[in-house]
Chains A and B, each alone.
Chain A
Amino acid sequence: MRRLIYLLPLLLFVGVGVAFLRGFDRDPRDIPSALIDKPAPEFSLPPLPGHKEGLSNATLKGDVTLVNVFASWCIPCKAEHPIITRLAREQGVTVRGINHKDKAEDAIAWLNRNGDPYASIGVDLDGRVSIDWGVYGVPETFLLDRQGRIRFKHVGPLTPQVVEEQILPMVKHLRSAS
Chain B
Amino acid sequence: MKALLLAVLLALTPLAASAVQPDEVLKDPALEGRAREISKDLRCLVCQNQSIDDSNAPLARDLRVLVRERLTAGDSNQQVLSFVTDRYGDYVLLRPPFKATTLFLWIGPFVVLAIGGVATALYLRGRKGAAVAAGGDTAPLTEDERRRLDALLRKDKV
Contact of A131 (CB < 8 Å), options: B46, B48, B63, B89? B63
The answer to whether B62 touches A31 (Cβ under 8 A) is no
Contact of A132 (CB < 8 Å), options: B45, B85, B87? B87
Contact of B89 (CB < 8 Å), options: A29, A34, A133, A137? A34
For B59, the closest partner residue in chain A by CB is A136
With A127-B62, A131-B63 in contact, do A34 and B88 touch (Cβ < 8 Å)? yes
The answer to whether B45 touches A131 (Cβ under 8 A) is no
The answer to whether A31 touches B45 (Cβ under 8 A) is yes
With A32-B89, A34-B87 in contact, do A136 and B46 touch (Cβ < 8 Å)? yes
Q: State A136–B43 Cα separation when bound (angstroms).
A: 11
Contacts of A128 in B (CB 8 A): 62, 66
The answer to whether A31 touches B89 (Cβ under 8 A) is yes
The answer to whether A131 touches B62 (Cβ under 8 A) is yes
Contact of A137 (CB < 8 Å), options: B46, B62, B91? B46
The answer to whether B86 touches A34 (Cβ under 8 A) is yes
Q: State A149–B130 Cα separation when bound (angstroms).
A: 67
The answer to whether A137 touches B48 (Cβ under 8 A) is no
Q: State A41–B63 Cα separation when bound (angstroms).
A: 17
**Interface size range on A against B:** 10 to 19
For A41, the closest partner residue in chain B by CB is B87
For B63, the closest partner residue in chain A by CB is A131
Could you count the A-B residue pairs with CB atoms below 8 Å apart for me: how many are there? Answer: 41
Taking chain B's interface residues, is the majority helix, strand, or loop, or is none over half, making it mixed?
Answer: helix
The answer to whether B62 touches A134 (Cβ under 8 A) is no
Interface 0/1 of B65-90, CB less than 8 Å to A? 01000000000000000000111111
Q: State A127–B87 Cα separation when bound (angstroms).
A: 13
Indicate whether A108 reaches chain B with its CB closer than 8 angstroms. no
Interface 0/1 of A114-139, CB less than 8 Å to B? 00000000000011100111101100
For A132, the closest partner residue in chain B by CB is B87
Q: State A137–B58 Cα separation when bound (angstroms).
A: 10
Indicate whether A35 reaches chain B with its CB closer than 8 angstroms. yes
Q: State A127–B64 Cα separation when bound (angstroms).
A: 13
Interface 0/1 of A29-53, CB less than 8 Å to B? 1011111000001000000000000
For A101, the closest partner residue in chain B by CB is B58
Contacts of B58 in A (CB 8 A): 101, 127
Contacts of A101 in B (CB 8 A): 58
Question: Which 5 residue pairs spanning A and B have beta carbons closest together?
Answer: A34-B89, A136-B45, A134-B87, A31-B91, A134-B88
Listed by A's residue number, 24 A-B pairs whose Cβ atoms lie within 8 Å are: A28-B48, A29-B48, A31-B45, A31-B89, A31-B91, A33-B89, A34-B88, A34-B89, A35-B87, A41-B87, A127-B59, A127-B62, A128-B62, A128-B66, A131-B62, A131-B63, A131-B66, A131-B87, A133-B87, A134-B88, A136-B59, A136-B88, A137-B46, A137-B59
Q: Which residues of B contact A (CB under 8 A)?
A: 45-46, 48, 58-59, 62-63, 66, 85-91
